[in-house]
Amino acid sequence: MLGIARTGIRVTLASVARGNGLRQLCSGGSGSYKNILVEKKGDKSQVGFVRLNRPKALNSLCDDLLRELNVAFREFDADPSVKAIVLTGSSKAFAAGADIKEMQPKTYSTVFGTNFINDWTEMLRIRKPIIAAVNGYALGGGCELAMMCDIIYAGDSAKFAQPEIRLGTIPGAGGTQRLPRAVGKSKAMEMCLTGDMITAKEAESAGLVSKVVPADKLEAAALDLAERISRMSLMAIYAAKESVNAAYEAPLSQGLLLERRLFHASFGTRDRSEGMSAFTEKRAAEFKDE
Ligand code: CAA
């Protein structure tokens, strides 16, 4: 047992840490996750695989689901055998947004007083890459959740939207901030002001999504990407993620300085030396995450 969630949900990872490949950690019932399914995948079980699993509510993002998701991400981030994470949903919905039924009775003083959905940002502290594999609807908070991941792959039937305006509200988990950075102001403004959906192809050409594949090939494609990333040095993975994220957060001069310093720092790692030696010796590099 590696952790106990703040909610008291017990997360048992030990059996999988000893396991050999595919193994479902939690599938509902007491003492396990109720809203997500968690496994390790990949030829060396090096990919943390999380599936949103509230099918009756199209994976809408209730408070409990977010708590469980944060626990699962933290556990994978701390697990030395895992080097990348895939987050997916079902064929019908990645996630249809924040849970509207849960939000409906809330008042201003409740949401402001509790800093409602602030815990969504916990996943931004995860250092390992998170790949969103989006099939079906990624709406509102579902689109925002995907955008908080590091890479988005989409099935060809995926649909993205920020429909909060149709509920008399606006995106609350980064939609008005990350979407313009991804697709530009005009398209983001149109999406946030109309709630209209865009297709996977449109999302790809706008820059929201890095690859579109047939829906039934999506999980395999995301897993393949995660496995390819997992072959790199974890030191370089951390540095690359941190540096690319700085392009989002910091002014160009600060981002460039951080990038230069992380580049310099990589010269202190064993894996940088191994990577360059392997190249000059015309052999495959053997990274040890050191
Ligand atoms: N919250 C709660 N329940 C939801 C939900 C949501 N976001 N989206 C879907 N559901 C529920 C439906 O209420 C329905 O439940 P019942 O069977 O109990 O009625 C079930 O999921 C299936 O949904 P539909 O019958 O509506 O399925 P559909 O195929 O006809 O339509 C849909 C699918 C277009 C996605 C439609 O469900 C829909 O428009 N959902 C809402 C999308 C939305 O507005 N998302 C933004 C939420 S606000 C937000 O996310 C704020 C933020 O920025 C953090």
Residue 273 sits in a domain whose CATH number is: 1.10.12.10
Is 290 catalytic? The answer is no
Segments of the chain scoring below 50 in pLDDT: 1-31
Tokens for 22, please give them: 């595919």
Q: Tell me if 41 is assigned to some domain.
A: yes
Per-residue pLDDT of 189-247, as tens digits, reads: 999 999 999 999 999 999 999 999 999 999 999 999 999 999 999 999 999 999 999 99
137 C-alpha to center of ligand 1: Å?
A: 10
Any atom of ligand 1 within 6 Å of the Cβ of 283 = no
CATH of the domain at 78: 3.90.226.10
Q: What is the pTM of this model?
A: 0.90
Q: Say yes or no: 261 and 123 in one domain.
A: no
Q: Say yes or no: 262 and 173 in one domain.
A: no
Q: Tell me if 2 is assigned to some domain.
A: no
Q: Say yes or no: 239 and 177 in one domain.
A: no
Any atom of ligand 1 within 6 Å of the Cβ of 139 = yes
Angle formed at CA 132 by CA 46 and CA 151, multiple of 5 degrees: 90
59 C-alpha to center of ligand 1: Å?
A: 9
Tokens for 266, please give them: 């990589």
CA neighbor of 14 nearest in space, from 40, 51, 37: 40
Any atom of ligand 1 within 6 Å of the Cβ of 144 = yes
Q: Which residues contact 225 (CB under 8 A, 6 or more apart)?
A: 84, 131, 151, 153
Tokens for 29, please give them: 């019932």
CA–CA separation, 50 and 145 (whole Å): 13
Catalytic one of 72, 96, 98, 200: 98
Q: What is the pLDDT of residue 145?
A: 98
CA–CA separation, 203 and 186 (whole Å): 14
Q: What is the pLDDT of residue 32?
A: 86
Of 231, 252, 271, the residue that ends a domain is 231
Residue 173 contacts residue 128 (beta carbons within 8 Å):
no
Q: Say yes or no: 197 and 264 in one domain.
A: no
Please classify residue 190 by burial: count the beta carbons closer than 10 Å to its beta carbon, then call 0-12 exposed, 13-18 middle and 19+ buried.
Answer: middle
For 62, the 3-state DSSP assignment is coil
Q: What is the pLDDT of residue 248?
A: 86
Q: Say yes or no: 122 and 245 in one domain.
A: no
CA–CA separation, 229 and 129 (whole Å): 8
Q: Say yes or no: 125 and 182 in one domain.
A: yes
Q: What is the pLDDT of residue 11?
A: 37
Any atom of ligand 1 within 6 Å of the Cβ of 132 = no
Q: Say yes or no: 203 and 254 in one domain.
A: no
Q: Tell me if 149 is assigned to some domain.
A: yes
Q: Say yes or no: 213 and 97 in one domain.
A: yes
Q: Say yes or no: 83 and 132 in one domain.
A: yes
CA–CA separation, 108 and 248 (whole Å): 30
Tokens for 82, please give them: 């895992």
DSSP secondary structure string for all residues of 83-137: -EEEEE--SSEEE--B-HHHHTT--HHHHHHTTTTGGGGGGGG--S-EEEEE-SE
Host domain of residue 217: 36-231
Q: Say yes or no: 220 and 254 in one domain.
A: no
Count of domains observed in the chain: 2
Q: Tell me if 10 is assigned to some domain.
A: no
Q: Say yes or no: 227 and 238 in one domain.
A: no
134 C-alpha to center of ligand 1: Å?
A: 16
Q: Say yes or no: 77 and 198 in one domain.
A: yes
Residue 210 contacts residue 152 (beta carbons within 8 Å):
yes
Q: Tell me if 30 is assigned to some domain.
A: no
Any atom of ligand 1 within 6 Å of the Cβ of 98 = yes
- Crossing angle of helices 175-183 and 185-194, rounded to 10°: 140
Q: Tell me if 257 is assigned to some domain.
A: yes
Q: Which residues contact 127 (CB under 8 A, 6 or more apart)?
A: 77, 238, 241, 242
Name the closest-CA residue to atom 21, ligand 1.
57
Q: Tell me if 83 is assigned to some domain.
A: yes
CA–CA separation, 34 and 32 (whole Å): 6
Tokens for 268, please give them: 């202190």
Q: Which residue has the tokens 């015309």?
A: 282
Q: Tell me if 53 is assigned to some domain.
A: yes
